[in-house]
Chain A
Amino acid sequence: MGLNHHNIHEMLEKFWAGETSLADEQALKEFFAYNTPPEGSEEMAAYFALINDQPEVSESFDEKILAHIEESQTRVFNMRTFWRVTAAVASIFLVASIFIFTDNQPTEITQSPEVKEAFEQTKSALFMISTQLNEGQDHASKLVKFHDAQAIIKTTEQ
């Protein structure tokens, strides 16, 4: 139906009632684009002018929207990974802190009979090694003295 200043009001009533087809709405857009709006329909003219100014939705619009949604989902996945990494790091720190805590509680442990016994065993062993090393050195120094004495005697005899 061609629109003109006579039937435009009737079409606008149908538009507001939601009874217009896509073709009717297109006709309304074209009418307000190329004609002076009739009295009382200036606001509708502004409305359709605004609609005409809107860019057409491209065919790739849906694809772009879906890609954007997928990207958002990826971000959610990355956040999960982040929390997993955080949990793993926290676990490592927890284990490390247990070791550190154990190391910071040595005083009580070193007072235990087992540690004292082990310490005494180690002391005895080290003392034994030390004694053997010194005895060996003493023997060696005696041999050196004996050798020196022999050399002196030989020199005196000559």
Chain B
Amino acid sequence: MKRIVILIAVLAFTVSMTAQKEDAIAKYFSSYADSEDYTKVTISSKMFELFTHIEGTNEEEQEMLETISGLQGMRMVTASNPDEADSRYKSALKSLGSEFEVLMEVEDDEENITIFIKEESGMINELVIIGCGDEFFILSLLGDIDLKQVAKLSRTIQIDGMEHLQNIDEE
């Protein structure tokens, strides 16, 4: 009986540890959670599990669902005050831990975007985007992330759009 109790306790501990896997926002930007200046969106791992039961109605959704199937969580914080967006962006870049590597930086007149990734055993298991323009935002994606698959998403939608344009011409 003691063994069973210990086994159940170990299982519960394992489940709770899995559930408590921290993303970058929880780890480095937890102070934002208490601030009313930020809008917070969290999509839990359970919700991502539910997404796997959604049936895609078109190619775009099928691609999207395929990409989502490897994900375990998403969290985003945004602050809409444009005057502070730039300073928040610079501060956030400094706060992120060294385990994240810069994948890409895009800076132009309208916005600044930096994409970070965290790899383990050659696999990307977290992607963080910090950006500012009209608003400041941080977005974290947890799970097995296939960058090629993600990049393909917007192209699929663009191709779909082109097909519709072709149909209009034909009409």
Q: Which residues of A contact B (CB under 8 A)?
A: 81, 84-85, 88, 92, 103, 106-107, 109-110, 115, 118-119, 121-123, 125-137, 139
Contacts and interface: CB of A to CB of B under 8 A. Distances in A.
Interface string B19-59: 00000000000000000000001010001111101100000
Given A88-B4, A133-B104, A121 B43 contact: yes
Contact of B74 (A81, A115, A125, A132): A125
Contacts of A118: 43, 47, 51
B153 interface: yes
Interface residues of B, number: 34
A132 B106 CA distance: 8
A12 B155 CA distance: 116
A129 B139 contact: yes
9 contacts: A84-B1, A85-B1, A88-B1, A110-B54, A115-B54, A119-B54, A126-B150, A130-B151, A132-B129
Contacts, number: 84
A136 B154 CA distance: 13
Interface string B63-96: 0100110010010100000000000000000000
Contacts of A107: 53
B58 to A, nearest CB: 12
A127 B157 contact: yes
Contacts of B127: 129
B150 A133 contact: yes
A118 to B, nearest CB: 5
A132 B4 contact: no
A52 to B, nearest CB: 54
Contacts of A121: 41, 43, 74
A109 B154 contact: no
A140 B53 CA distance: 38
B151 A137 contact: yes
B154 A130 contact: yes
Contact of A123 (B64, B76, B104, B147): B64
B55 to A, nearest CB: 9
Residue of A85, A133, A134, A135 with most chain B CB atoms under a 10 A cut-off? A133
Nearest to B129: A129
A85 B7 CA distance: 13
Contact of B50 (A84, A88, A110, A123): A110
A86 to B, nearest CB: 11
A121 B12 CA distance: 31
Nearest to B49: A103
Contacts of B154: 127, 130-131, 133-134
A96 B157 CA distance: 40
* A-B pairs with lowest CB-CB distance, top 5: A106-B53, A130-B154, A130-B153, A136-B104, A133-B151
Nearest to A123: B64
Contact of B43 (A81, A122, A128): A122
